Amino acid sequence: MKKAIHLVMMLAIGFGVSGKVMADEALAKAKNCMACHAVDKKLVGPAYKDVAAKYKGDAGAVDKLAAKVKAGGKGAWGEIPMPPNNVTPDEAKKLVTWILSQK
């Protein structure tokens, strides 16, 4: 009985995480991030998996990248600039946290 309860709890936690990941992907789509980025391949901008790999282990990456998402930037991934995005600071952090979770 304890094993069954444990299994149900683990599945519920797993579905909660999957739902959050999907919500953040939906936010990326809603904010038009996916017009220039894809999870696993370079489009206009870098693949999110490449961004996650580049910043893996960087404790300040979320704040640094959230600021870039909000203000835009140029030069980190080439000469094509990323325009400023119409996102709140909280949305920018959610997007970056999701991006950095890509493997």
Known binding residues for heme c: 33, 37, 82
Rounded Cα–Cα distance for residues 92 and 100 (Å): 12
Rounded Cα–Cα distance for residues 30 and 9 (Å): 31
Map residue 84 onto helix, strand or coil: coil
Rounded Cα–Cα distance for residues 6 and 49 (Å): 32
Q: Summarize the annotated binding site as residue ranges.
A: 33, 37, 82
Please give the angle made by the CA atoms of 78, 80 and 82, to the nearest 5 degrees: 110
